[in-house]
Structure 1
Amino acid sequence: MQHDEKYWTDRYQNRQTQWDAGSITTPLKEYFDQLTDKSLSILIPGCGNAWEAEYLHDKGFENVYLADISPIPLADFSARCPTFPKDHLLCQDFFLLNDKFDLIIEQTFFCALHPSQRHLYGQKCAELLKDRGKLVGVLFNDRLNDDHPPYGGSKEEYLEFFIPWFDIHIFTTCYNSIKPRAGRELFIHLTLK
Structure 2
Amino acid sequence: MASSAAVDVAGAGRQQALDGSNPAVARLRELIGGHESTAGWSRCWEEGVTPWDLGQPTPAVVELVQSGTLPAAGDATTVLVPGCGAGYDVVALSGHGRFVVGLDVCEAAIHKAKQLSAAAAGGDVGSNFFAFVAADFFTWEPPEPFHLIFDYTFFCALHPSMRAAWARRMADLLRLDGELITLMYLAEGQEAGPPFNTTVLDYEEVLNPLGFVITWIEDNEVAVEPRKGMEKIARWKRMAKSDY
TM exceeds 0.5? yes
Matching residue of 1:31: 64
Pick from 63, 66, 73 the counterpart of residue 99 of structure 2: 63
With over 3 angstroms needed to count, the CA separation of the structure-2 counterparts of 1:106 and 1:144, relative to structure 1, is: farther
The reply on whether 1:80 has 2:80 as its aligned counterpart is: no
Deviation string, structure 1 residues 111-157 (Cα, Å, up to 9, x no partner):
11111101111121011011211111311122163422111311223
Q: Secondary structure at the match of 2:194?
A: coil
**TM-score, with normalisation over the residues of structure 1?**
0.90
The answer to whether the 8 A contact 1:47-1:66 is kept is yes
Q: Distance in 1 between matches of 2:203 and 2:83?
A: 18
Q: Secondary structure at the match of 1:78?
A: helix
Q: How many residues are paired up? A: 192
Matching residue of 1:10: 43
Query: How do residues 1-193 of structure 1 correspond to structure 2 at under 5 angstroms?
Result: 2-33=35-66, 34=68, 35=70, 37=72, 38-39=74-75, 40-57=77-94, 59-61=95-97, 63-82=99-118, 83-85=125-127, 88-99=131-142, 100-143=145-188, 145-165=190-210, 166-193=212-239
**Structure 2 letter corresponding to 1:51:** Y
Deviation string, structure 1 residues 96-120 (Cα, Å, up to 9, x no partner):
1223100001111111111110111
Q: Distance in 2 between matches of 1:30 and 1:22?
A: 17
| Higher normalized strand content (fraction of residues) | 1
Residue 62 of structure 1 deviates from its aligned partner by 5.0
85-94 or 162-171: bigger deviation: 85-94
With over 3 angstroms needed to count, the CA separation of the structure-2 counterparts of 1:29 and 1:144, relative to structure 1, is: farther
The answer to whether the 8 A contact 2:183-2:232 is kept is yes
Residue 5 of structure 1 deviates from its aligned partner by 1.3
Q: Percent identity?
A: 25
Q: Distance in 2 between matches of 1:127 and 1:143?
A: 29
> Greater RCO between the two (CA within 8 Å, min separation 6)?
1
Residue 17 of structure 1 deviates from its aligned partner by 0.5
Q: Distance in 2 between matches of 1:123 and 1:188?
A: 18
With over 3 angstroms needed to count, the CA separation of the structure-2 counterparts of 1:23 and 1:168, relative to structure 1, is: same
Larger radius of gyration: 2
Residue 174 of structure 1 deviates from its aligned partner by 1.9
Query: RMSD across aligned C-alpha pairs, in angstroms?
Result: 2.0
165-174 or 105-114: bigger deviation: 165-174
Query: Please, which runs of 5 or more residues in structure 2 have no aligned partner?
Result: 1-33, 119-124, 240-244
**TM-score, with normalisation over the residues of structure 2?**
0.72
Deviation string, structure 1 residues 16-75 (Cα, Å, up to 9, x no partner):
111111111222211122236153100000111121112233x45552101101001111
